[in-house]
């Protein structure tokens, strides 16, 4: 429970970071944050009882620059929500597929890379989707950069985060 993730919001209620329960309790104890969501129980010390937070909000504003997302496997899987873009199957065993193969001068860019299961990637091979008789579920695009985002798999078991995070 102490290693669970906690969503940290800025003073303006925009998502800022993820931290562990221990760090969140220290921030609340020191008066630097307040608990907004408590859905996991309590932590007991010798003299005090602390709520185990799920979402905390800082009492002061933190300015952070917007960073561009890097094109990595994990980022593509998050963008596609761990779904094969050809057959629609959700799985953790995905590969990257270039819509226009690199050997045909396809770029390694957000608009040309999708998640594909091993079966679909093997079936498509070095062809375009039209040549392989396959259709993309949705066109690949560069993900929006609204600042901080939460990786898709962290939402499992944290439904209370959804109202604070734009999706």
CA 24/CA 11 separation, integer angstroms: 15
Categorise residue 13: left if φ over 0, alpha if ψ from -120 to 50, beta otherwise: left
Task: List pLDDT tens digits, range 36-76.
Answer: 988 778 888 898 888 889 999 999 998 877 777 789 998 89
Terminal-residue alpha carbon distance, the chain: 26
pLDDT at position 77: 92
Decide which of 38 and 94 is more confident: 94
pLDDT at position 158: 74
For the chain, give every domain's residue range: 5-65, 73-132
Task: List pLDDT tens digits, range 79-92.
Answer: 899 999 999 999 98
pLDDT at position 150: 66
73-132 maps to CATH 1.10.30.50: yes
Lowest mean pLDDT among 70-74, 86-90, 149-153, 158-162: 149-153
Q: Length of the chain, please? A: 167
Lowest mean pLDDT among 26-30, 139-143, 158-162: 158-162
Cβ-based neighbour number of residue 85 at 10 Å: 24
Max Cα–Cα distance, the chain, nearest Å: 70
Task: List pLDDT tens digits, range 136-146.
Answer: 999 999 987 76
pLDDT at position 93: 93
pTM: 0.58
């Amino acid at each position: 429970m102490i290693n669970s993730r906690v969503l940290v919001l800025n003073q303006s209620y925009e998502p800022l970071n993820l931290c562990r329960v221990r760090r969140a309790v220290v921030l609340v104890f020191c008066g630097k944050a307040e608990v907004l969501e408590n859905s996991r129980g309590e932590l007991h010390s010798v003299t005090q009882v602390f709520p185990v937070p799920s979402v905390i909000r800082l009492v002061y504003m933190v300015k952070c620059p917007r960073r561009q997302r890097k094109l990595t496997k994990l980022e593509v899987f998050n963008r596609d929500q761990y779904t094969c873009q050809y057959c629609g199957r959700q799985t953790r065993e995905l590969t990257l597929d270039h819509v226009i193969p690199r050997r045909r001068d396809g770029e390694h860019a957000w608009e040309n890379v999708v998640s594909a299961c091993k079966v679909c990637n093997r079936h498509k091979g070095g062809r375009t989707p039209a040549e392989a008789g396959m259709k993309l579920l949705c066109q690949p695009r560069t993900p929006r950069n609204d600042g901080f985002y939460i990786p898709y798999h962290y939402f499992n078991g944290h439904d209370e985060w959804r109202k604070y995070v734009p999706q």
